[in-house]
Chain A
Amino acid sequence: MQKTPLHAKHVALGARMVDFGGWDMPVQYGIITEEHRNTREKAGLFDICHMGELKVEGPEALALLQKAISRELGGMENGQMRLGVLCNEAGGILDDLTVYKLADEKYMVVTNASTKDGDLAQILKVQRDFGFTDAKVVDSSAVLGKLDLQGPVSQAILQPLVADDLRKLKFYHFVETEILGGYAIVSRSGYTGEDGFEIYLARDKIGVLWDKLFEIGAPLGLKPIGLGARDTLRLECAMNLYGHEMDDKVTPLECRYGWVTNLDKDFVGVDALRELKARGLGKKLVGFELVDRGIARNGYDIVAGGQKVGVVTSGTISPTLGKAIGLGYVPPHLAVEGTEIGIQIRDNVVKAQVVKLPFYKRG
């Protein structure tokens, strides 16, 4: 199993470690719901060194990414980032990723951990198939580390370590800067629905940065947060997780990624997606709340009229709302707010209701 540079620190903190896409990662240091609340109310630090970073450079860098990724990437300014998806020819999702525009001919693509090698292979295939020879794709994952600093106190914690005025950094924008004497990228973004930053720094400096952030942040309430709370935080905000809401059998149109899918541009999978859109979707991702007691879990059946009509992709008890919430696929005619559905939980069908997403939005 692969280990991040912070592995020994997690173990020393007493974290429960789990296999996450081939990486031995902390699922929790203490109690998941407390880590969740700490992130919403103060700040949390997440080891995200397992995720992948691909650099794409050269005169045809933009053309290559435009062809590979669903999102319109033209018109981005330097220092801006966008979310998009990488599709196969059938429109199935290989990954969701963020694209950072570093310079006119220089981009960084941030991938999920278990999908990184496949993403790299797909981008190289698109490069070969469509002859974008004047672009270079480099996997920087082994030399870059990543920490996510999330929560309302994040800016106060990070500011002493960077010269740039973080107040001026807008959402989904980033700065190339210096942290602890080394090159760093800091973006105002994340996976929790709170204000916060994604920080990229040389992998061999990540341990020092982790310690430094706690030196500054601990008095302000900063805590290490595991993947358990990362999951409940993202789920409250209805953010998709690869392997749950998405896989290569799901298209971006079905999983609420229509907004990152520009069907008027040419990219791999667009023909299949246009056809699907014209034909009409067979299923749609919805959010639901359980009306009766229970917790919906990944893989449970969604039922209506005594029939299985769909499947739960994620579910939990929301620590912020105190309700059992979930995401799942249903036929389009049931994907309407207020619709009553059932969740098959062991021997019982538990009543649930389709609700508006996200479940939680920062006030």
Chain B
Amino acid sequence: MSKSNPANLKYTKDHEWALVEGDIVTVGITDHAQELLTEVVFAELPAIGKKVEQGKQLAAVESVKSVSDVYSPVSGEVVEVNTELEANPGLINQDAFGAGWIAKVKMSNPAELEKLMDVAAYGKVMES
């Protein structure tokens, strides 16, 4: 069963989560997303300094059978990536909301946060 979605995060309809701390946004995929994906065997991380746009590709996570794009919840610049995932992509399965985080983006347009969902709205997306 999915772990419950933390209330302090923002969500996208594509099952990414965003932790907003000042202008730094930590991004990952939700526990529901990792369940759909099954065993993650590879994570393609963005380069530090890469400019990303809201809703555009940030990273990719791959299971044995499939590839899923991870879209950035906000526009900005990648300032840090979770290099632990290079050796241990399974962290995304084990702890999607924690140790399985993917990248940190320094956001350029905080107004974009309005477009993200809170935990209640995301809960409805999961059910649909």
Q: Does A316 contact B (CB under 8 A)?
A: yes
Q: Does A228 contact B (CB under 8 A)?
A: yes
Q: Does A149 contact B (CB under 8 A)?
A: no
Q: Is the CB of B65 within 8 A of A32?
A: yes
Stretch of A130-138, A173-181, A182-190, A289-297 contacting B (4+ beta carbons < 8 Å)? A289-297
Complex CA gap A355/B40 in Å reads: 26
Q: Does A27 contact B (CB under 8 A)?
A: yes
Q: Is the CB of A228 within 8 A of B65?
A: yes
Q: Is the CB of A32 within 8 A of B44?
A: no
Q: Give the Cβ gap from A11 to chain B, nearest Cβ, in Å.
A: 17
Q: Which residues of B contact A345 (CB under 8 A)?
A: 44
Q: Is the CB of B41 within 8 A of A295?
A: yes
- For window 243-284 of A, CB contacts with B under 8 Å fall at none
Q: Which residues of B contact A232 (CB under 8 A)?
A: 64
Q: Does A128 contact B (CB under 8 A)?
A: no
Q: Which residues of A contact B86 (CB under 8 A)?
A: 293
Q: Give the Cβ gap from A256 to chain B, nearest Cβ, in Å.
A: 24
Q: Which residues of A contact B38 (CB under 8 A)?
A: 16, 28, 31-32
Annotate A212-234 by CB proximity to B: 1 below 8 A, 0 otherwise.
00000000000000001001100
Partner of A31, one of B39, B44, B67: B39
Q: Is the CB of A346 within 8 A of B60?
A: yes
Interface size on A, residues (CB 8 A): 18
Annotate A4-39 by CB proximity to B: 1 below 8 A, 0 otherwise.
000000000000100000000001100111000000
Q: Does B14 contact A (CB under 8 A)?
A: no
Taking A293-B86, A295-B41 as contacts, is the C-beta distance between A33 and B64 under 8 angstroms? Answer: yes
Complex CA gap A307/B54 in Å reads: 32
Annotate B42-57 by CB proximity to A: 1 below 8 A, 0 otherwise.
1010000000000001
| Central interface residue in B44, B65, B67, by most chain A CB within 10 Å | B65
Complex CA gap A340/B48 in Å reads: 27
Q: Does A237 contact B (CB under 8 A)?
A: no
Q: Is the CB of A33 within 8 A of B39?
A: yes
Q: Is the CB of A294 within 8 A of B44?
A: yes
Complex CA gap A335/B38 in Å reads: 35
Complex CA gap A124/B42 in Å reads: 47
Q: Which residues of B contact A31 (CB under 8 A)?
A: 38-39
Partner of A317, one of B41, B44, B57, B60: B41
Q: Does B62 contact A (CB under 8 A)?
A: yes
Q: Which residues of A contact B63 (CB under 8 A)?
A: 32
Complex CA gap A16/B36 in Å reads: 10
Q: Is the CB of A317 within 8 A of B67?
A: no
Complex CA gap A223/B118 in Å reads: 42
Q: Is the CB of B39 within 8 A of A32?
A: yes
Q: Which residues of A contact B44 (CB under 8 A)?
A: 293-294, 345-346
Complex CA gap A362/B43 in Å reads: 30
Complex CA gap A330/B67 in Å reads: 24
Q: Which residues of A contact B65 (CB under 8 A)?
A: 27, 32, 228, 231
Complex CA gap A31/B65 in Å reads: 11
Q: Give the Cβ gap from A214 to chain B, nearest Cβ, in Å.
A: 23
- For window 14-39 of B, CB contacts with A under 8 Å fall at 38-39
Annotate B65-105 by CB proximity to A: 1 below 8 A, 0 otherwise.
10100000000000000000010000000000000000000
Q: Is the CB of B41 within 8 A of A33?
A: yes
Q: Which residues of B contact A27 (CB under 8 A)?
A: 65
Partner of A294, one of B39, B42, B64: B42
Chain B residues near A (Cβ < 8 Å) = 38-39, 41-42, 44, 57, 60, 62-65, 67, 86
Q: 3 closest A-B pairs (Cβ-Cβ)?
A: A32-B64, A317-B41, A31-B39
Chain A residues near B (Cβ < 8 Å) = 16, 27-28, 31-33, 228, 231-232, 293-295, 297, 316-317, 324, 345-346
12 sampled A-B residue pairs with Cβ under 8 A = A28-B38, A31-B38, A32-B63, A231-B65, A293-B44, A293-B86, A294-B42, A295-B41, A297-B67, A324-B42, A345-B44, A346-B44
